[in-house]
Structure 1
Amino acid sequence: MVIHYNSNTKEPYLRLPEPHANIILTPHRPNSLNETSSALVEILNDPRVALRLQRTPYPYLSSDGEQWAKANCKDQEGILSALREELEEPGNTAVQKDTGNVPHHGRPFVDISPFTCIREVLKIDPGTGTPVEDILIGDIRLARSSFDEYPEGSEERSLAQKGNDELLAGDENIVWSLADFLAPSHHGRGIMTLAVRTIIHDWAIPRMNVRRLKSWAFEDNEGSLRVFEKNNFIRGHTLKDWALVTESRGGGKKSIVLMEWTGEDDDE
């Protein structure tokens, strides 16, 4: 496990491995709301992204992006405060390293991943290698499962969510879900495959004790399904005409494929 820390901006972040070491995963930034909103508007109004998502507004407005960024900043405040304190402890270096499936230095497991923004680094400090300039190109997040395999509005879904939400942080029985999107300009490069791998192995396992992880994608979204498969998710049931699609996205229902992470070693 490796957590990087920008001591100038007080921002912890994860870095993807080569050949995409210029891609980092960061928290949302309270001082960059306009920049974040503008990037989200561009990405989430592109049909190549928007039509593969179910719940984000479409068309996506600047106000949507600003509200989304503000909400994430608020949610991440607590974990970021704790991380900064941890990373600034005397004797710690700018890059923190840990291995194994136990909390870093015996600290308790947490219930959130603050590393939700996928950014491309455009400029680094030549002396330290610390990012100086970057742009937002996508989003990746872990959340407790919404159990989309049960009918929307059903008692089964409600009971599954309630039981899952009542489990304490670090409980290996918590069912988590993973969702992501990436700017079309960066599709087809293997970036999302490594982003998923990084968030699982550098944060979800060692800091959240994630052991049960599911996701889903529309049946026609072969790119996303392959990203999950490359990270040892296996295809489960295909639920035909299952997910409600908003009128702005054409209406009706689309089939979804459930994906479940096995926790085995990743493909090389």
Structure 2
Amino acid sequence: MTVQHNSRTKEPYLRLPEPHTNIIITPHRQNSIDETSSALANILNDPRVALRLQRTPYPYSKSDGEEWAKANCKEQEAMLSNLRKELEEQTNTKLKKHAGNNSRQDGQVFDGCPFTCIREVLKSEPETGHPIEDILIGDIRLARSSFDEFPEGSEERAQAQRQNDELLAGDKNIIWSLADFLAPSHHGKGIMTLAVKTIIHDWAIPRMKVQRLKSWAFEDNEGSMRVFEKNSFLRGCTLKDWAPVSESRGGGKKSIVLMEWAGADDS
């Protein structure tokens, strides 16, 4: 699948393939900040999610969610404006040849991914199949690497970030990173595996020209590592007692495993 365009709401979105076509990935919504913040608070206060994460506040308040949603709306605004224009131009000029308002893959190269909110569709339009009602069940984030393999606060990490951030959109040398979380009610169903696959193949490769991709997981988070391994990531080095953990999560430091993408798998 490719980017789809909800003609009623003007929202672009990605849809997961079978058997999870009822799951979509959307941008943050300016008109749904209250709903988003409530859902985030519910998910991120669950220890099954919170203790697998490092940087999100814990406990997580509704105001934390509001700030996060507003910041994402602002960050995604320019990307979405350009993407909507592209999609609408295709519709208006009747370049679309297939049902579903799918976008071309030869448009603008983007310096980021506006699709971050994983949602379960509860109701769809009978004629178009576009979602009418959905709920937030998780988050997936594609961003320039934070280089967690270097010590926190070190000049080595800061320099790697500066050099990476200076590269122009579409540069094959940019190192990107993926991070995600999912509501425990939806764990163990293969949803996150397909969400990662969708982000990589429907957006990162064709629209960002991504060639280098990493992720990190706590050493005891086998579920997360399996998700990435199913998407052609290889386990790299394990950094023992590396990542600082907040006192609210127990304090101390946890070991992390570096996951590195081996490249597109067309099988």
User: TM-score if structure 1 supplies the norm length?
Assistant: 0.95
Runs of 4+ in 1 over 4 A off after TM superposition: none
Q: Which residue is equivalent to 2:229?
A: 229
Code of the residue aligned with 1:260 in structure 2: it is: E
Q: Structure 1 residue 169: deviation in Å?
A: 0.6
Distance 1:66 1:222 in 2: 31
Root-mean-square deviation (CA, aligned residues, Å) is 1.1
Q: Displacement, 1:108? A: 3.4
Query: Aligned pair 1:173/2:179, yes or no?
Result: no
3-state SS of 1:2 partner: coil
Give the superposition deviation at 1:25.
0.4
Counting matched residue pairs gives: 261
Aligned residue for 1:95, secondary structure, equals: coil
1:101 counterpart residue number: none
Partner Cα distance (1:214, 1:184) in 2 = 24
Task: Determine the C-alpha separation between the residues in 2 that align with 1:196 and 1:142.
Answer: 10
Equivalent-residue separation in structure 1 for 2:64 and 2:141 (angstroms): 18
Do the aligned residues in 2 keep the contact of 1:112 with 1:143 (CA within 8 Å)? yes
- Contact conserved, 1:110 with 1:170, CA < 8 A, in 2? yes
Q: Between the two proteins, what is the percent identity of the paired residues?
A: 76
1:92 to partner: Cα distance: 4.0
| Residue in structure 1 matched with residue 156 of structure 2 by the alignment | 156
- Which whole-Å deviations, capped at 9, do the CAs of 1:222-254 have from their partners, x for residues lacking one? 000000000010000000000000000000000
Q: Distance in 2 between matches of 1:128 and 1:168?
A: 37
1:250 counterpart residue number: 250
AA matched with 2:47: P
Aligned to 1:48: 48
Q: Which ranges of structure 1 fall in alignment gaps of 5 or more residues?
A: 99-103
Q: Confirm or deny: 8 A CA contact 2:87 2:103 kept in the other structure.
A: no
Structure-1 separation of matches of 2:79 and 2:95: 18
Alpha-carbon offset, residue 110 of structure 1: 1.0
- Residue identity opposite 1:18 in structure 2: E
Question: Would you say the 8 A contact 1:172–1:209 is kept in 2?
Answer: yes
CA distance in 2, matches of 1:40, 1:85: 30
**CA displacement, residues 17-38 of structure 1 (integer Å, 9 cap, x when unaligned):** 0000000000000000000000
Corresponding residue SS for 1:71: helix
Aligned twin of 2:70: 70
Kept in 1: contact 2:144–2:176 (CA 8 A) = yes
Displacement of 1:119: 0.2
Instruction: Go from structure 1 to structure 2 and tell me whether the alpha carbon gap of 1:80 and 1:97 turns closer, same or farther (over 3 Å shift).
Output: closer
Give the Å deviation of 1:130: 1.0
Tell me the CA shift for residue 266 of structure 1: 5.8
Tell me what 1:208 maps to.
Answer: 208
Q: Give the letter aligned to residue 96 of structure 1.
A: N
For each residue in 1:107-164, what CA deviation from the matched residue of structure 2 results, as whole angstroms up to 9, or x when unmatched? 3311110100000000011121110000000000111000000011111111101100
Q: Relative to 1, partners in 2 of residues 1:28 and 1:83: Cα closer, same or farther, differing over 3 Å?
A: same
Secondary structure of the equivalent of 1:64? helix
1:199 correspondence with 2:205: no
